[in-house]
Every structure is written in structure tokens, then in C-alpha cells.
Structure 1
Amino acid sequence: MSQLDVMYQQVILDHSRARCGSGTLPVDIQTSSYQVNPTCGDEVTLGLNLDEAGEITQLIWDGDGCSISQASLSIMSELLEGKSLAEIAQFYDDFETMMHSRGQGVDDDLLDRIEDGAALEGTSKFPNRIKCALLGWYALKDALAKAGVALEEHKA
């Protein structure tokens, strides 16, 4: 295993333990999405509060699952904090592109943009694990859609 693989493995383990953004969803949450990966049982409920412009003011999630799903949720929460909807749409596209690369590699600029999310690039080689890594991102997109915010409309 290369030193980079070891470092990425450590990033995944650290995020799966730290669980940035994880907590009990408040009663007054504006929109939420429950997603489950039937293949392995990973699950998440992601909640959002939005301002009048549709920008996220609070993102909180509660879930259970493997280290990949939990790390991905933690990384996503950290990455999206304080970002505009256009930036969030770009992160979503970047992460989904990486996960659907099937281990063939993606542009280094993309990996730089998604910061710690790059640690999950190796996951794209394993189709059953891709679902784990994308679980939280799909919950985010669904919760926004339920609030009337389509990420596709905010692409640059």
C-alpha cells in the first residue's frame, strides 16, 4: 500500500469517527431526506434549514453505516459549510463524477476542489461501495428538491 493510500485510509477513518455535522435533527428543521442503501443497510436522515434565497443555513445528519458512508457524510458537511448553492452544485457534480469514474482517475483539479473527499476516490473501483459514498449526497439533493431547490439550476 502506498503512502498516499495509507493517508487516504486515515482520512476516511478520522472522518468516520469525527462525524462532522452529525447530530439529532431539530424539531424545526425545514426539510429532510431519509436515504438507505439496501445493499448494506447504511442509512441517513439529513436535515436542512434554508434562508429566503434558498441558501443552506444549517445542515445536520443522523445516520448509521460503514466507515465510507459516515466519512462521506462528514466530509460533505465540512466541505459545504458556508457555501453558496452554485458552489454546492459544483461539489455535488465533482463528487458524483469522481465516484462514477470506476477507478479510472479524474482530473487533479477536481480532486483539489473536493479536498478530503479525494480520499474516497479509490472507493469508485467498487460498485457496491459507490452507493455508500453517495448516500449522503443523494440525501442532500433530495432534501433540497423537497424545498424547491434544484441543484441543476445552480450549476455554473
Structure 2
Amino acid sequence: MDLKSLYQEILNEHNLNPSHKGVTEGASLTLQGVNPSCGDNIYLQLKIDENGIITDGSFNGSGCAVSQASVDMMLDDVIGKSREEALRLASLFMDMIQGKADGEALEELDEAASLKNISFMPARVKCAVLGWHTMQEMLGNGKSAGQGSVSHCEVKND
């Protein structure tokens, strides 16, 4: 199996069988992320404990395979991490999408690194970053992170 096929398989698995689609009971934060250019619409929920650790998370909504898979992969990466670590991973993801990160740095993104080549499909970049940008907004770092490729996202508080 070549690398492109493996990446496609990872994307399909997260889209068809998402681990985190649903509702998080007792969520600390909920935020809607909308990509008006293609209709992606998610509600991201995070449960954060008193130490600032993301203990659970989920998403609901609809959208293309890329947006749904990306937010599911993001939740795999950030659950169990601190706010700061989640924001650092989001920044790394944005750098990857903009072609500014590769190699060992991407290992931290685990399966989310499979979206690296989305940068060659400009129409899909918006879809891939929606969940990550929504999380940045939610955790209070959306203004300074990921400028440019995510400026099209409209994020609404519930």
C-alpha cells in the first residue's frame, strides 16, 4: 500500500467511523464552527478539568469527509492534554497545512499528519482547519494562531 492510499484510508476511517461524534455530558465549553464556503458546520464540545486538562470532547454537525475526519483526529490528539498543549498542537497543524512543518514535528500530530497534502488542494484547506480553528477560538487563542488560511471560518458562541 502506498502512502497516498494509507492517508486516504485513515481519512475514510475517521469520516465513516468517528470516535468522537456525539455529545459530551457536562462539557465545559461548546462552540460552533462554520465554513460558509462549503457548508461545513460543527459544534465542538470540550470537557476541561480544574487543572486545565481536556478530559473529554466531542463534535456534532455536518460537513464533508475532510472536515469531519479532521475534527475527529484532532480530538484524538488533544484529549488528555492541557489547554496549552492542545493550542500548541493546533499551531503545529496550521503550520503543517501552510507547508511550514514536516518530518519529526508532524509525528506529534499522529494520524492528523495524514492531512499534510491538503495544502495542495486549496478548496479543502478550509475544511481541514475548521475543527482546529474552532478549538483555538474556544480555548482563547484564535486571534493570534493560524491567520490567513483560517480567516474564512466563522465561529459562533452557543
> Normalising by the residue count of structure 1, what TM-score does the alignment of the two structures yield?
0.83
User: Do structure 1's residue 35 and structure 2's residue 30 form an aligned pair?
Assistant: no
For the 8 Å contact 1:42–1:65, the answer to whether it is kept is yes
The one-letter amino acid paired with 1:115 is D
For the 8 Å contact 1:18–1:74, the answer to whether it is kept is no
The one-letter amino acid paired with 2:112 is G
User: Do structure 1's residue 120 and structure 2's residue 115 form an aligned pair?
Assistant: yes
Match of 1:110 in 2: 105
| Superposition CA RMSD, Å | 2.0
Task: Report the Cα offset of residue 121 of structure 1.
Answer: 0.8
Q: How far apart are the structure 1 equivalents of 2:79 and 2:37?
A: 30
The structure in which a higher percent of residues are helix is 1
For the 8 Å contact 1:33–1:45, the answer to whether it is kept is yes
- Structure 1 runs, 4 residues or longer, greater than 3 Å off: none
Task: Report the Cα offset of residue 111 of structure 1.
Answer: 2.0
Percent of aligned positions that are identical:
32
Gaps of 5+ in 2: 144-158
Pairing of 1:5-154 with structure 2 (within 5 A): 5-26=4-25, 28-101=26-99, 106-145=101-140, 150=141
> Normalising by the residue count of structure 2, what TM-score does the alignment of the two structures yield?
0.82
For the 8 Å contact 2:133–2:142, the answer to whether it is kept is no
